[in-house]
Structure 1
Amino acid sequence: MKKEIIISGFGGQGGLAIGKNLAEAGMAEGLFVTWAPSYGPEMRGGTANCSVVLSDKPVGSPVFNTSSELIALNEPSLEKFESGVLPGGCVFVNSDVVTDKVHRTDLTAYYIPCGQIADEVGNSKVSNMVMLGAYVAATKILKPETIETMIHEMFTGSKAKFVPLNIEAFKRGMACV
């Protein structure tokens, strides 16, 4: 088993956090992982993407030409990376931001209203956790409990109050798929 994932969007959408959570959860479950972030010229509003590899065998390189999955948080990301997804792969689209549809018929597309669900949960900043939940539910590569543990570890001290909100967003994202 080997998953090569591109997660891309505007800076501030939480795409790099999705990738980091996937990598850390993969390590916790005994997988071999890589996480390679890439930033545009600006932190917030500029482009940001990351490559994640989750594998049951050692990973030779964090660099790959084609991905098994794409998480597109904005329109430019879908336009740029859709063509690089392997036939039979999956594309996860933030349908609140991306108005275009996946053009290829050899891919499985999931349209997740991340912002809408995050607003329903009570905070628009957790839309990335909605997408993470959708990804985990669709691919079943990681256990939801492992991600929830990562969320607990991410928010400690004075930020611990954000754990229930993020877990609720994650669960709502899982329910979308």
Structure 2
Amino acid sequence: MLEAIYLAGHGGQGTLSTGQLLALAAVKEGKCVSYVPHYGVEKRGGVSNCGVTVSDRQVSSPFVTEPTVLVAMNSLSLERYENAVVPGGLIITNSSLVEAKVSRTDVKAVPIRANDEAEALGDPLVANNIILGAVLELTGVVSIKTVEESLKEVLPPRHHHKIPVNLKALERGAQLAREYINPTGE
């Protein structure tokens, strides 16, 4: 098993904390992991990306250059990284902010209205975990239960009161992915 996941967005969208959460959960499950953040010098709104590689074997390179999964949290991220995804890979877009459709036909494209769904849950800051729930559902890279257990370690103690809404976000993202892949529920 090897998943090379690239999460791309801008500062404040939670891409780095999502990557940390995914990486920690994978470590807890005994998998080999690399996590490499990339961010701009801006305090808010600049580039904020990370690569997370999860494997059952040693990871040969920490850098994700050919992702099996791309999470595009904004339009620039889709435009910049769509062509890097391996054929047969997965692209999940935050379609609340990404209006363009994935142009490639050799990948699975799943739009998730993460910002709108986060608003519906009452906390716009959980859009990243709605997307993470979809990633977990579509890849099985780690269990949602392990991610839930890891939240207390990734979120600072001052935000532990937000764990329940983050759990709802993960579950909602998984549900949306299931509905997208199987819209009739059969």
Identity across the alignment (%):
38
Whole-angstrom CA distance in 2 between matches of 1:26 and 1:124: 26
Number of the residue aligned with 1:97 = 97
Indicate yes or no: 2:68 matched with 1:68. yes
User: Does structure 2 retain, via aligned residues, the 8 Å contact 1:91–1:107?
Assistant: yes
Question: What is the TM-score with the length of structure 1 in the denominator?
Answer: 0.96
Question: Number of residues paired by the alignment?
Answer: 177
Which of the pair is proportionally richer in strand? 1
Moved more, 63-72 or 83-92: 63-72
Whole-angstrom CA distance in 1 between matches of 2:164 and 2:45: 27
User: Does structure 1 retain, via aligned residues, the 8 Å contact 2:5–2:70?
Assistant: yes
Change (3 A) 1:42 1:168: same
Question: What is the TM-score with the length of structure 2 in the denominator?
Answer: 0.92
Q: Which amino acid aligns with 1:55?
A: S
Give a deviation string over 1:15-62, Cα, whole Å, max 9, x none. 111111111010000100000000112131011111110000011211
How much has 1:157 moved relative to structure 2?
4.1
Q: Give 5+ residue unaligned stretches, structure 1.
A: none
Number of the residue aligned with 2:118 = 118
Q: Which amino acid aligns with 1:101?
A: K
Number of the residue aligned with 1:17 = 17
Whole-angstrom CA distance in 1 between matches of 2:117 and 2:59: 35
Change (3 A) 1:91 1:44: same
Change (3 A) 1:27 1:98: same
Indicate yes or no: 2:77 matched with 1:77. yes
User: Does structure 1 retain, via aligned residues, the 8 Å contact 2:5–2:64?
Assistant: no
Query: Aligned ranges for residues 21-170 of structure 1 at < 5 Å?
Result: 21-155=21-155, 157-170=157-170
Q: Which amino acid aligns with 1:129?
A: N
How much has 1:101 moved relative to structure 2?
0.5
Moved more, 151-160 or 90-99: 151-160
Q: Give 5+ residue unaligned stretches, structure 2.
A: 178-186
